[in-house]
Structure 1
């Protein structure tokens, strides 16, 4: 059985873009679905991410994963080639710190986040 990988994202979203880049770096074949707001395709957000109702949403063999940093960890652990994080534990911790720092600073100021939150 072939693997089925789908990414539901939004053009211009740094969170969707990071997952798109990760899949390309790992060489994973996937289908990308651009979700426009507001639209009927936004129902996929509620289906795959009913808690936060945000993008990106990642679906691997019909099992959904939400939140871009969690998705990146899943991708890195599923496809072992070209690991994202350094082997050194201190450097790995530093990379996680900066990833979360960027999330905290970008998320609340990004226009797509504001729009999605206004739709919930």
Structure 2
């Protein structure tokens, strides 16, 4: 637990998968922290002071020192509070965990962003193929209940977007990319992860998220 001398604050927005990553990690570690809600398009001066480079959430502030970028924050949390580790102790396994976490942000999230914002049909089709390839890599990599073994680790936490957000986007847009038939192991992992008591508690309301993505998709279609 964070001692009385420690001050831990998380600046975030409900509905952001990147903020949810940090929420999950702090809860898994049993760290008490103050959550500060920011507003999209109207970030506080405090947040901008703490993250002048990117001006975005999440920002973790530990004893007055700010840390930005969700993957950097996850590693900081693991190194600062040793209980319930989310990174393996073995250097090679640690390197692999970092590799797959970066893969999710680089290959998978990049393709999803393109698919959800592009008006060009061909470009969107290419993005869907990239997403399927990324899913297949992760399907092949998943050997146990979680990427972290029997306990949730950094790759699982990074993958919260795949487990929770992507099925919502899929429902909002009518896609059929992520199914139990195509990716049985990854699909089962997503269910186990979403139903983990600590994870479940940190996830945003599904119906609110679904309404948001439906409206976004409809406006994208209308602007064609």
Instruction: Give the structure-2-normalised TM-score.
Output: 0.46
- Superposed, 1:21-60 pairs within 5 Å as 21-39=24-42, 41-60=43-62
Q: Provide the aligned C-alpha RMSD in A.
A: 2.0
Comparing 23-32 with 82-91, greater Cα deviation is found at: 82-91
1:92 aligned partner: 94
> Offset at 1:14?
1.1
Measure, in 2, the Cα distance between the counterparts of 1:37 and 1:13.
Answer: 10
Instruction: Give the structure-1-normalised TM-score.
Output: 0.82
2:23 aligned partner: 20
Q: Which one has the bigger strand percentage?
A: 1
> Offset at 1:87?
2.2
2:109 aligned partner: 106
Number of equivalenced pairs: 110
Unaligned ranges ≥5, structure 1: 112-120
Q: Which one has the bigger helix percentage?
A: 2
Measure, in 2, the Cα distance between the counterparts of 1:35 and 1:44.
Answer: 10
Measure, in 1, the Cα distance between the counterparts of 2:20 and 2:54.
Answer: 18
Measure, in 2, the Cα distance between the counterparts of 1:65 and 1:12.
Answer: 20
Comparing 88-97 with 3-12, greater Cα deviation is found at: 88-97
- Superposed, 1:71-82 pairs within 5 Å as 71-82=73-84
Measure, in 2, the Cα distance between the counterparts of 1:9 and 1:106.
Answer: 19
